[in-house]
Structure 1
Amino acid sequence: MNEWEIAIKMCALFFPIGKTGAYSIPVLEQIDPKKDCIQALIIVPTRELALQTSQICIELAKHLDVRVMVTTGGTNLRDDIMRIYQKVQVIIATPGRILDLMEKGVAVMDQCKILVLDEADKLLSQDFKGMLDTVIKNLPQERQILLFSATFPLTVEQFMRKHLRDPYEINLMEELTLKGVTQYYAFVQERQKVHCLNTLFSKLQINQSIIFCNSTQRVELLAKKITELGYCCYYIHAKMAQAHRNRVFHDFRAGLCRNLVCSDLFTRGIDVQAVNVVINFDFPKMAETYLHRIGRSGRFGHLGIAINLITYDDRFALHRIEQELGTEIKPIPKVIDPKLYVAKLLDDDDTPEANAK
């Protein structure tokens, strides 16, 4: 086992900063604070993940005199240009924005010898087709590329063959996948889903919950229904204005609301420590999507549960996803043992949402 494997396994298994710490700590250690140039680039697929990653990196970099900058779409490009002309050594970015800065000659990458691709399977999907190839063309020939991915589709394998020389693979799937998350399903008719959700809210001991829908329209409709039932509820999806998304993301992480309804925007690497319940109001079609969704609970070593509302049309997808992930999704019992998902994070009096419905 080499030094990288030890560091990644230790961070992923034991430390609160998890995967982000597994790459950001060794990346920051390789930065020369005396050099006024971009030395490392971390690319992530969503703006929310970029902000979360930058918070961790900036905190760690304080002790090393290393300057970290985050840049994403949906923010003022001129402001980013002004900031990048100052001393910046590590950039965390979404693909479209960093390409804009490269094409304008603002982000000079000729001394950037480390590239990290977080959520590589998403970055190499059709949503970002060809972007990473363009990014790599701007890097020096001698560079180190690190890919972090919860799944290993053909696109990732093809990318590795094209751009990586003798890559070293570390597979933590057996140790980490779905660990600590108990999974249930409930067979319901479509018109019964809101009633079933209301029942779950009344019976479960929810610290915070994330509820997934398959479309942005259904996200907003469901959030409205939950609010009408008398529960505190936020919602977030990709069609919202970025400033609104940032506020929802920040406030939910701060514990100002117990329930969040969202689209798959929120499945990638977003860590909210208090989330102990994930509900698939709409069951996903792909095993990869399911894996990322329910992984939002059981973070930081805490336990969690995932509850799937299954209609007649979902029955085949349920069995297929069980087989593909090698996991078991059990019928929901009348009473769920709180020991399976309740981790005491704060005293009731300290919780902003305490006693709020």
Structure 2
Amino acid sequence: MNSTPFSSLPLPPAMLSNLEQLGYRDMTEVQAQSLPLLLEGHDLIAQAKTGSGKTAAFGIGILHKLNPTLFAVQALVLCPTRELADQVSNELRRLARFADNIKVLTLCGGAPMRPQIASLEHGAHIVVGTPGRIRDHIGRNTIDLARVQTLVLDEADRMVDMGFYEEIAGIVSACPARRQTLLFSATYPDDIRKASAEFLRQPAEVKVEAQHSEAQIEQRFYEVGYEDRNAAVARLLNHFKPVSTLAFCNTKIHCRELAEELQAQGFSALALHGDLEQRERDEILVLFANQSCSVLVATDVAARGLDIQTLGAVINVDVSKDTEVHIHRVGRTGRGSEKGLALNLCALNEKKWVKLIEEYQGGPVQWYDLDEVEADYGIPLQAPMVTLCIMGGKKDKLRPGDLLGALTGDIGLTKEQVGKINVFEFQTYVALDRRVADRAFAKLSEGNIKGRNFKMRFIKLN
């Protein structure tokens, strides 16, 4: 594909300079197809998978017409999950660095209402949130959407699947009729087309084929008996030894069973499914993203909005009956310039779904013999990091820099031995190199952070 630079777009020099600093030089396919239409003011339906650059596409469209001197909500982005909303907000803040004082606010369920209301009273230019919480704010008259110019429905198929249609319809009716509406969706089946028709005005359509290059992602299929799947997952993990693996099961029960079996064998594994409370879900995602958990076993519903940049492998423990869902799962590995690995287990009665995958990708899948996979069962696959949970957070004015300073200065760790630091309202998670974690904990317990002593504990999976 011919590369198209961002400089070919009619964007202000300050925005182009910021894009250059962020490493955005040539547009991805979805950006090249959608941005000229966005900048002309068209409503848009864009079908593109996660990781295709869609956030930057609608972010640039939003910022191009935003007026920083007008303190009103001028753009609203709806996302299916809190995790995706956080990712989108962070990306929009990076894209907005070229202009002074553009405020991006995240409004999601599972967080206290009062601080959100206070933030809205101070004004925001862009609001990113989940449908349920935005609808709550509309009901309380704590958000004014009368000045919205751009409405974005991100991962619209997932929001409708999750039962958010009524909330979305209510939010749309609170926005001005004269607005630009942008709908981004990995899949675009007829029911979504029908449901979204009333939200859009003569939309342009863009579709980026969800195909994966064989050079980028290696896909392997293994025939396995229905009862032997969990043992097969352990065998593949012990052979390929990926640092982080996302394993997909079709049911919540299977998720829990597989995670428990892997834990019993010494793997750093956790299950992510729809029965978890938001706090549990947040903690599991922190542990997986910071490499304290090496295997995350998830259902498709639970993994919605999950965007882990460096993923060593995807294992499809069950074949998905929906081909586009299969493509979407596989596309979570091999991001950017990274090589990806997708391992697929298939019981005899699932071969009909594999036939559909072959039809979709226009060629046969590659079958391998599981008996020829040599597994090293000597040392179980352990995550390289462990997470320290500190009982203090934003409420205590803790910042990532404070913790990094304490760990590298007072305790003497190198920056490489400290991983991601996630500061939440009331607690903070710090990833530490497994080999130095106990020493760091002992020294941190003896000292203080910002002149205060905080309770702390390790979250150890094995």
TM-score by length of 1: 0.85
1:114 Cα deviation (Å)? 0.3
Aligned 1:109-258 pairs, distance under 5 A: 109-125=145-161, 127-159=163-195, 161-173=197-209, 177-179=211-213, 180-258=216-294
Output the CA distance in 1 between the equivalents of 2:243 and 2:237. 11
- Give secondary structure in 2 for the equivalent of 1:264: coil
Task: Tell me, yes or no, if the aligned pair for 1:39 and 1:112 is still in contact at 8 Å.
Answer: yes
Determine the structure 2 residue equivalent to 1:81: 117
Q: Match for 1:276: what amino acid?
A: G
Residue of structure 1 aligned with 2:29, choices 1, 5, 9 = 9
Residues 269 and 22 (structure 1), Cα distance of their counterparts in 2 relative to 1, 3 Å cut: farther
Give secondary structure in 1 for the equivalent of 2:181. Answer: strand
Query: What does residue range 13-52 of structure 1 map to in structure 2 within 5 Å?
Result: 18-52=53-87
Letter of the structure 1 residue corresponding to residue 178 of structure 2 = E
Seq. identity, %: 28
Cα contact 1:124–1:155 (8 A) shared by 2: no
Whole-angstrom CA distance in 1 between matches of 2:362 and 2:316:
19
Query: In structure 2, how many angstroms separate the alpha carbons of the residues matched to 1:242 and 1:319?
Result: 37
* Cross-structure match for 1:55: 90
The secondary structure found in structure 2 opposite 1:124 is helix
Between structure 1 and structure 2, the one with the greater Rg is 2
Structure 1 pair 328–135 and aligned structure 2 pair: CA distance change class (3 A)? farther
The answer to whether the Cα contact below 8 Å between 1:257 and 1:353 also exists between their aligned partners in 2 is no
**2:19 is matched with which residue?**
none
| Counterpart residue identity of residue 283, structure 2 | R
The 3-state SS of whatever aligns with 1:141 is coil
**TM superposition score normalised by structure 2:** 0.67
- 1:327 CA drift (Å): 5.6
Task: Give yes or no for contact 2:85–2:130 (8 Å, CA) kept in 1.
Answer: yes
- State the alpha-carbon separation in 2 of the partners of residues 76 and 258 from structure 1: 31
**Contact 1:297/1:304, CA 8 A, preserved across alignment:** yes
1:49 offset after TM fit, Å? 1.2
Residues 330-355 of structure 1 show CA distances to partners (whole Å, capped at 9, x for unaligned) of: 2125469xxxxxxxxxxxx8787789
Question: How far apart are 1:154 and its partner, in Å?
Answer: 1.0
Q: Distance in 1 between matches of 2:60 and 2:195?
A: 25
**By how many angstroms is 1:92 displaced?**
0.8
Cα 1:30–1:266 shift into 2, 3 Å: farther
1:155 Cα deviation from its structure 2 partner: 2.8
Letter of the structure 2 residue corresponding to residue 56 of structure 1: E
Q: CA deviation at 1:10?
A: 7.2
Aligned partners of 2:313 and 2:333 also within 8 Å: yes
Q: What letter matches 2:122 in structure 1?
A: Q
Displacement after TM superposition at 1:146 (Å): 0.8
Deviation for aligned residue 1:313: 2.2
Q: Which residue of 2 aligns with 1:344?
A: none
Per-residue deviation at 1:192? 1.3
| Shift in alpha-carbon separation, 1:61–1:251, aligned structure 2, 3 A | farther
8 Å Cα contact 2:30/2:54 also seen in 1:
no
Which letter maps to 1:9?
A: E
Amino acid at match of 2:29: K
CA spacing shift, 1:167–1:122, aligned 2, 3 Å: same
Supply the AA of the counterpart residue of 1:154: D
Asked if the contact 1:207–1:274 (Cα under 8 Å) also holds between the matched residues in 2, the reply is no
Distance 2:320 2:52 in 1: 28
2:76 is matched by which residue type in structure 1?
A: L
Distance in 2 (alpha carbons) for counterparts of 1:71 and 1:115: 15
Contact 1:96 1:131 in 2 (8 A): yes
Question: CA shift at 1:267, angstroms?
Answer: 3.9
State the 1:310 CA deviation: 1.0
- Secondary structure, counterpart of 1:300 in structure 2: coil
* Cα distance in 2 between the residues matched to 1:177 and 1:313: 25
Asked if 1:320 is matched to 2:356, the reply is yes
DSSP-derived class of the 1:227 partner: helix
Letter in 1 for 2:212: L
What is the Cα deviation at residue 205 of structure 1?
Answer: 4.0
Q: Hey, what does 2:324 align to over in structure 1? A: 288
- CA contact under 8 A between 1:45 and 1:95: conserved in structure 2? yes
Unaligned 5+ runs, structure 1: 337-348
d(CA) in 2 for partners of 1:193, 1:160 = 39
1:18-70: CA deviation from partner (whole Å, max 9, x where unpaired): 22122213312322111111110111112221122222223333442211111
The question of whether the paired residues in 1 share the 8 Å contact of 2:30 and 2:52 is answered with no
Preserved CA contact (<8 Å) 1:206 1:276: yes
Task: Verify the 8 A CA contact 1:42 1:93 in the aligned structure 2.
Answer: yes
- 2:314 corresponding residue in structure 1: 278
Change (3 A) 1:12 1:191: farther
